[in-house]
Amino acid sequence: MSDLYHVSSSPHVRSKDTTSRIMLYVIIALLPTSLFGIYNFGIKALILILVTIASCVASEWIFNKIVHKKNTITDLSAVVTGLLLALNLPATLPWWEAVIGGVFAIVVVKCLFGGLGQNFMNPALGARCFLLIAFAADMTNFVIDSYTGATPLAAMRNGEAVNTMDMLIGRTAGTIGETSAIAILIGAIFLILMGVIDLRIPASYIITFVLFMVLFSGHGLDANYITAQLCGGGLMLGAFFMATDYVTSPITPRGQIVFGICCGILTGLFRTFGANAEGVSFAIILSNLLVPMIEKLTIPRAFGQVKEAKAKEGGK
Amino acid sequence: MNKNVERLYNGLIKENPTFVLMLGMCPTLAVTSSAINGLGMGLSTTVVLVFSNLLISAFRKVIPNGVRMPAFIVIVASLVTMVQFIMNAYTPSLSESLGVYIPLIVVNCIILGRAESYASKNPVIPSIFDGIGMGLGFTFGLTCIGLIRELLGAGQIFGFQILSLEWFTPITIFVMAPGAFLVLACLVAIMNIVRAKMEAKGKPLAAPSGCLSGDCSGCAQSAMCTGRSLSKEGAASAKATAAKNAANAPKTE
């Protein structure tokens, strides 16, 4: 007898997908990015990744112990949060600041709102924004090959030329996980093939962003500029791994497209008109806050249901 | 005299305006970026509160019920204007850093709340002590928040560098607006734990004073009431009396 066969009331169709299984896929998909980050930034990046994951898992365990809740660290979601947070930090960040970030992500953003499935914004991004405001200097201290440099986005903002090929491969300054577009795309393709994410959010996000940049950035249809904007900063990582977070993105198909468009417009706004060169994390957490409203407006019509206005016309 | 001491205890701990009644949140969140700001704001509010309670209580039989709100506002506004001038003259730097929040004491809900729910119904002396208690409770709350925010956000306490900048990186978010929300939330959470523990021990901290009927609808204090414990307590006492009656019933029969 297989475990999938139950004689019971509905649901009768069961899938093998569990939270921990999906989280495991996400971790596997993030491996190329993490490995490239470690190759790019050295042993410091590895230590930072391990410290952040450890602090996330530990704070979830301790929180659940304190409030006498069932322990949920085995669903691996804390590991994913830790890994994503670490990939969003510069490799030079002091380890204790990363620990504070991990604690903030798990305790404040996730557990205080009721744990996995209840958090209103992506924990990793919430913590990144917290750190960005709390330790502004350390969070923007980007070093590569022992040379402190501006990120490609900041360089472009100052009107300097950037090497698009370097940005595709990822040999640039930035946070641990955001530099290599290729490594991120490998992970994203894996997730899409495994059916963990679909293209609605990332595609609508990226297309909206490109349209916005063509219209408003002042560079027009400059392919080099657009490619550099796409590969620079956290856009790829955000679009494929953070905007698609199940908990904080809309559940309705049309809503997901609206959500992607919101993210795209906000990112374009922040990058073009904002004070900083980068705006992906703020764009995504702001869109996270809009999700309940988007879901309410995009409830799909049930089969056979007639719109009220049409029904009235029919009645006439 | 005993009643006056009770009023002080009530304002400082039992119905602390910041942590229990959640009144005056606007200055609480806005000016507490350092301990000295919190202390200054708290003390100036205390002064206004004490004198407004005194005057309103003294005039309580003269003020017609229909226009009591405008009358209270006039009294409070005159006091605030005086405090503002005094602060401008003697503590210019503090008055500059508190800025618009000094004139805004006029519409601080603690002051109107105390006027409406206590001073307008009680004699002068207890009203003064009520003002002192509530004012010191507010000062205590604001100074606590200010201390924590200043320590974490700048490594200082009352302007003195406590944590050396050589090894301490100031967590600047704590002197900004989000820090106020985080610190306030943590302190209120701690206060709630303490209250829950006291209630479990049978010494409820937050029983609203002056609640006679236990019936919240139509109660003038419903805006000030801490609610939760009231309904619980009411239910508990009702149960207790029921149980007593049940226990007594066979005997009496």
Residue A30 forms part of a structural domain: yes
Distance, in angstroms, between B142 CA and closest chain A CA? Answer: 22
Whole-number pLDDT of residue B11: 84
Q: Flag whether residue B250 sits within 8 Å of chain A, measured between CB atoms.
A: no
- With beta carbons under 8 A apart, name residues in chain B contacting A136: 172
pLDDT cut 90: percent of chain B above it: 32
User: Which residue in chain A is spatially nearest to B186 when comparing CA positions?
Assistant: A108
Name the token pair of A68.
């006498």
* CATH number for the domain harbouring residue A62: 1.10.3430
Tell me how far apart the alpha carbons of residues B169 and B203 are, in angstroms, rounded to a whole number.
42
Which residue on chain B is closest to A130 by alpha carbon?
B173
Under a CB-based contact definition with an 8 Å cutoff, are residues A47 and A95 in contact? yes
Answer whether residue B253 shows pLDDT above 50. Answer: no
A95 in a domain, yes or no?
yes
Which of A63, A99, A109, A133 best probes binding to B when mutated, by most B CB atoms within 10 angstroms?
A133
Domain boundaries, chain B: 3-162+171-196, 214-253
The pLDDT assigned to B251 comes to: 41
Number of domains chain A is built from: 1
- Candidates A143, A142, A140, A113; CA nearest to A128 is A140
Q: Give the confidence band of A26 by pLDDT, cuts at 50, 70, 90.
A: very high
Domain assignment of residue A283, given as a range: 19-297
For the stretch B76-102, what's the b/e string if a residue is b when 16 or more beta carbons lie within 10 angstroms of its beta carbon?
bbebbeebbeebeeeeeebbebbeebb
- What the block records as the tokens of A182 is 């290729």
Residue A250 domain flag: yes
Q: Which residues of B touch A111 (CB under 8 A)?
A: none
Interface confidence: ipTM more than 0.90: no
For position A27, what pLDDT does the model report? 94
Neighbouring-strand partners of residue B148: none
Is A38 a member of any domain? yes
C-alpha A195/C-alpha A311 separation (Å) is 38
Which three-class secondary structure state does DSSP give residue B35?
A: helix
Would you place residue B146 in the very low, low, confident or very high pLDDT band (cuts 50, 70, 90)?
very high
The phi, psi pair for A92, rounded to 5°, reads -85, 0
Is residue A5 a part of any domain in this protein? no
Residue A186 is predicted with a pLDDT of: 93
**A135 located within any domain:** yes
How do beta strands A147-148 and B156-157 pair? unpaired
pLDDT at residue B194 above 80? yes
Task: Give the per-residue pLDDT at A309.
Answer: 61
* pLDDT of res. A257: 94
Query: Which pair of tokens denotes residue A231?
Result: 């590969």
Residues B10, B17: contact at Cβ < 8 Å? no
Cα gap B172→A133, rounded to integer Å:
7
Across the interface, whether the CB atoms of A135 and B169 are under 8 A apart is answered: yes
Average of per-residue pLDDT across A7-32: 83
User: What is chain A's mean pLDDT, rounded?
Assistant: 87
DSSP code, position A143: E
- Mind listing the pLDDT tens digit for each residue in A201-244? 999 999 999 999 999 888 778 888 888 888 888 899 999 999 99
- Mean local confidence (pLDDT), A191-209: 92
Query: Kind and range of the H or E element at A283?
Result: helix A280-297
Sign (positive or negative) of CA dihedral A87, A89, A94, A96: negative
Q: Quickly state the pLDDT bin for B242 (edges 50, 70, 90).
A: very low
User: Distance between alpha carbon A209 and the CA centroid of its chain, in Å?
Assistant: 16
B18-35 confidence digits (pLDDT tens)? 888 888 888 888 888 889
Q: With a CB-CB cutoff of 8 Å, which residues 66-105 of chain B face chain A?
A: none
Residue B221 amino acid letter:
Q
Residue B241, Cβ density class (10 Å: 0-12 exposed, 13-18 middle, ≥19 buried): exposed
Model pLDDT, residue A147: 67
- What is d(CA A106, CA B111) in angstroms, rounded to the nearest whole number? 39
Whose CA is closest to A201, among A153, A262, A145? A262
The string of pLDDT tens digits covering residues A259-315 is: 999 999 999 999 888 887 788 999 999 999 999 999 999 888 888 877 666 555 554
Confidence of residue B209 (pLDDT cuts 50, 70, 90): very low
Contact yes or no for A97 and B174 at CB 8 A? no
Question: What's the pTM value of the predicted model, to 2 decimals?
Answer: 0.80
- Rounded mean pLDDT of B72-80? 93
Residue A3: per-residue pLDDT: 65
Determine the length of chain B: 253
Contact yes or no for A134 and B182 at CB 8 A: no
Q: What is the mean pLDDT of chain B?
A: 80
Any chain A CB within 8 A of the CB of B182?
yes
With cut-offs at 50, 70 and 90, classify the pLDDT of residue A80.
very high
Considering only CA atoms, which of A205, A274, A200, A261 is closest in space to residue A237?
A205
Lowest mean pLDDT among A275-279, B89-93, B98-102: A275-279
User: Is the predicted pLDDT of residue A53 greater than 60, yes or no?
Assistant: yes
Question: Does the beta carbon of A94 lie under 8 angstroms from any beta carbon of chain B?
Answer: yes
* pLDDT tier at B231, thresholds 50, 70, 90: very low
- Do B176 and A135 lie within an 8 Å CB cutoff? no
The yes-or-no verdict on residue B218 having pLDDT over 70 is no
pLDDT of residue B16: 85
User: Which one has a higher pLDDT value, A187 or A74?
Assistant: A187
pLDDT in the model for residue A57: 94
Min Cα separation A105/chain B (Å):
14
Instruction: Tell me whether residues B173 and A94 touch, CB distance under 8 A.
Output: no
In eight-state DSSP terms, residue B157 is: E
Chain A's closest residue to B172, CA to CA, is A134
